[in-house]
């Protein structure tokens, strides 16, 4: 693009470029497209705001059938669980148990009665070793590199299905310290909601 500076009759300096040579038809089409985009956007925003007002006040202005209006809370509750939540368990070797944390006994507390918990503990026990534990910094015991089992990916070493109801009856969401076959482990139970 070549710019040539020119002085107008009023003394203002301006540059002329290819845009000033643009055919008027092209400018008209571009202006029409730009203004129609603004109008469409404004219409969408207005309709959304109007719909939100109708939902919060429970009015429908006669635009819809004579259905009973639902409150916003009812809509959110019905949308909250349109799919089943899925849980996963990760197991790490517990190098230290923080002060104030209780440790569950897998046998005495019935954790081995739940197939998915028993399965991950057995796999963790088989994958665990004293040499592996010696290399772990206690402050980073739940770092992903120290993971022995992960049911979400099924790569450590096989996939185990997690029955959320059975698991939640025995352990809490988050970190759980568990004693299993002479060793301590951290079971991290997470639930992903849709």
The tens digit of pLDDT for each residue in 128-184 reads 999 999 999 999 998 988 989 887 765 444 455 666 777 777 777 788 999 999 999
The tens digit of pLDDT for each residue in 56-79 reads 555 555 555 555 444 444 444 445
Residue 97 CA to residue 99 CA, distance in Å, equals: 7
Helices (H), the chain: 24-57, 72-80, 115-127, 130-134, 164-170
Closest alpha carbon to 187 in 169, 167, 166: 167
Domain extents for the chain? 4-79, 86-192
Residue 124 CA to residue 156 CA, distance in Å, equals: 9
Strands 149-150 and 183-192: unpaired
């Amino acid at each position: 693009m070549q710019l040539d500076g020119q002085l107008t009759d009023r003394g203002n300096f301006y540059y002329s470029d290819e845009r000033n040579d643009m055919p008027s038809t092209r400018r008209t089409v571009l202006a029409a497209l730009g203004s129609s985009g603004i109008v469409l956007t404004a219409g969408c925003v207005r309709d959304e705001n109007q719909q939100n007002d109708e939902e919060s006040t429970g009015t429908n202005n006669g635009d819809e059938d004579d259905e009973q209006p639902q409150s916003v809370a009812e809509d959110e509750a019905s949308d909250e669980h349109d799919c089943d939540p899925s849980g996963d368990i990760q197991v790490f070797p517990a190098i230290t148990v923080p002060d104030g944390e209780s440790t569950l006994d897998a046998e005495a507390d019935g954790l081995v009665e739940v197939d998915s918990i028993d399965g991950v503990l057995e796999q963790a026990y088989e994958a665990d070793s004293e040499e592996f534990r010696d290399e772990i910094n206690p402050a980073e015991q739940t770092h992903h590199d120290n993971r022995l089992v992960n049911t979400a990916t099924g790569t450590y070493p096989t996939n185990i299905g997690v029955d959320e109801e059975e698991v939640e009856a025995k352990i809490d969401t988050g970190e759980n310290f568990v004693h299993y076959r002479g060793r301590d482990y951290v079971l991290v139970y997470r639930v992903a909601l849709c």
